Structure 1
Amino acid sequence: MTTTAREKARPVRSASVRRHELGAFLRSRRERITPEQVGLPRGARRRTPGLRREEVAHLSAVGVTWYTWLEQARDIQVSVQVLDALARTLLLDGSERAHLFQLAGAVDPTPAASCTGVTPALHEMLRTLEPLPACIQNSRYDILAYNRTYARLLCDLDAVPPEDRNCMILVYTHPEWCRSIVHLEETRRLMAAKLRSSMAGHLGEPAWKMLVKRLTAESPEFRANWERYEVVDRRTRTKQFLNPYVGFLSLDHTDLWLTPETGARMVTYIPTDEESRERLEKLYALAASAGQG
């Protein structure tokens, strides 16, 4: 074999090895999960350890034959949407999810995987703002970083998986987050309209399509609001929360843009009255003591 032929064959072999590793990894993760973990009945005649291939395919909304080919290391294309669905079905943790995307030769678009641009200086700014709640979000509502007060403002954000730390997902699917918003229906409608407005510049990007697809599948309320085709721009407004730890809070919401484009921004909440200020100080004290425990 000539040098040129060997150079051409090398990436082909590399891709083949990666496909076999991907198939073996998926099979190993599938076999470790019990049907009960994903809400399926075990049945009396089950012989397969863990889940069956057809069960993984059904839960991930892909074809059984296609998923079988994936485990068999066939040369097929895998989208980031499908990889995301498989990661959720197979209950992968952060390291396993990163490994899955790496084997597939894909870039994980979730905020947990791509928290770029949040420098140590920005983290320090978030801490300095305490007891005021503050976080850094992108235009897709991914929560990229936050301080301790914000972590307890609407729910225990530290307990939320990093890939689910998205305000759209939380406002439509997270019960505690929803209970903390006083004007929930209005907030949901406004956020859906803001998302549609922002999405105009990101129509071809997988992460945006994945977010809308997930919300459409999991929330009838989102589907209804999304189908209104409303668009609004971002604006400063007063928000009211019913915090489970300190009670009612009235806060002025402000976006501080970190780039010239409408991308990443620091979201801050300033109390509108003395009672809300005192309650924020109590909330911060609770969050700080919990972090030391």
Structure 2
Amino acid sequence: MYQDCRCGIVVAVTDQRREELASFLRSRRERIAPEEVGLPRGRRRRTPGLRREEVSQLAAIGTTWYTWLEQGRDIQVSAEVLDAIARTLRLDQSEREHLFALAGAIDPSPAAAFTPVTDALRDLLDQLEPLPACVQNGRYDLLAYNRPFSKLMCDLDAVPPEDRNVIWLGFLNEQWKATLPDLEQTQRAMVAKFRASMVENLDDPTWKALLKRLQAASPEFAEYWDDHEVLRPGNQLKVYHHPQAGVLRLSATSLWTQPGSNRPRLVTYTPVDEETREKLHLLTGPPPLVTV
């Protein structure tokens, strides 16, 4: 049992609660494709989603310990272990609270650490058109974007969701790379920013999985990573060579949705000259006709 600090209630972890915890963990594990965390699917995979040993590996906990959890064994689980499991299984805030409640533990991370892409934020992205705009998290995953951004560097809608990451695209997507006039300099800056951001997430299995996946897929990334360069993200001039619109000069501005450099941020791209401003409609087609 544990003492709930918010209301003083003592909660016992009963057999029924442990069984529910076991079922919940299995359901969350089975919904994650191996490719989403940088693991090969393989031909002999019978389990939908991740295997138990893969979850334990990504969460840096013992396979036997995690197996006992999924079997509903009567064991004590620390908040640190639950935190690692929640991150590995990519639980949202409601699921995370459910996990800690079932395990009879107090969540050490505040709810403010989780920022979903709200309907209001998605509506703001649409309202920013024709300016390209997106929402990124600290790991440079693209959480949401508007139509102009979806066509700025490649056809993002055609990219698998697990590959919608700025660094992955900057090294592995040929269309994305073709828009960058100084590819090596841009890639080096990406790696330096990723390393600077990762210092606050060294124990996060999702960050470690992305790093491992990038190192395995791109020799260039692996080489630049070994240089140990660091660079903090900031607002800057971006130049792209778009196949239809030509040269686009844009100023990138980041607005964090919550305090902290690793929180999700809204990134907008505004033209720095009139020529670029006039070309922006080419990203999504001609503007609609206005009838009087």
**Structure 1 length-normalised TM:** 0.61
| Aligned equivalent of 1:252 | 250
Residue ranges of structure 2 left out of the alignment (5+ in a row):
1-8, 33-39, 102-106
Question: Which one has the bigger helix percentage?
Answer: 1
Root-mean-square deviation (CA, aligned residues, Å) is: 4.6
| Aligned equivalent of 1:223 | 222
- Rounded Cα–Cα distance in structure 2 between residues aligned with 1:175 and 1:70: 43
Number of residues paired by the alignment? 251
Deviation at 1:117, TM superposition (A): 6.8
The 5 A counterparts of 1:120-159 are: 120=120, 122-159=121-158
Q: Is the 8 A contact 1:24 1:71 kept in 2?
A: yes
1:254 partner letter: A
| Aligned equivalent of 2:266 | 266
- Rounded Cα–Cα distance in structure 1 between residues aligned with 2:249 and 2:129: 14
- Rounded Cα–Cα distance in structure 1 between residues aligned with 2:153 and 2:70: 41
**1:177 equivalent in alignment to 2:176:** yes
The 5 A counterparts of 1:68-217 are: 69=68, 71-74=70-73, 75=75, 104-105=99-100, 114-116=114-116, 118=118, 120=120, 122-160=121-159, 164-200=163-199, 202-203=200-201, 206=204, 210-217=206-213
Q: Is the 8 A contact 2:238 2:252 kept in 1?
A: no
Provide, for residues 69-89 of structure 1, a one-character-per-residue CA deviation record: whole Å limited to 9, x for no partner.
4553444866666677678xx
Provide, for residues 204-254 of structure 1, a one-character-per-residue CA deviation record: whole Å limited to 9, x for no partner.
663xx522442233334333323322222334433233445x253322232
2:14 counterpart SS class: helix
- Rounded Cα–Cα distance in structure 2 between residues aligned with 1:80 and 1:9: 19
| Aligned equivalent of 2:3 | none
1:171 partner letter: G
| Aligned equivalent of 1:241 | 240
- Rounded Cα–Cα distance in structure 1 between residues aligned with 2:259 and 2:48: 50
Residue ranges of structure 1 left out of the alignment (5+ in a row):
1-6, 31-37, 43-48, 88-93, 289-293
The one of 23, 34, 44 aligned to 1:21? 23
Deviation at 1:114, TM superposition (A): 4.7
- Rounded Cα–Cα distance in structure 2 between residues aligned with 1:274 and 1:101: 48
1:255 counterpart SS class: strand
Bigger RCO of structures 1 and 2 (CA < 8 A, at least 6 apart): 2
Identical counterparts, % of pairs: 33
2:187 partner letter: R
Deviation at 1:105, TM superposition (A): 4.4
- Rounded Cα–Cα distance in structure 1 between residues aligned with 2:30 and 2:260: 44
Deviation at 1:98, TM superposition (A): 9.4
Deviation at 1:9, TM superposition (A): 7.5
2:139 counterpart SS class: coil
Deviation at 1:133, TM superposition (A): 0.6
- Rounded Cα–Cα distance in structure 1 between residues aligned with 2:234 and 2:29: 48
Provide closer, same or farther for how the CA distance between residues 25 and 124 of structure 1 changes in structure 2, counting only shifts above 3 A: closer
Deviation at 1:138, TM superposition (A): 3.8
The 5 A counterparts of 1:266-285 are: 266-273=266-273, 275-285=275-285
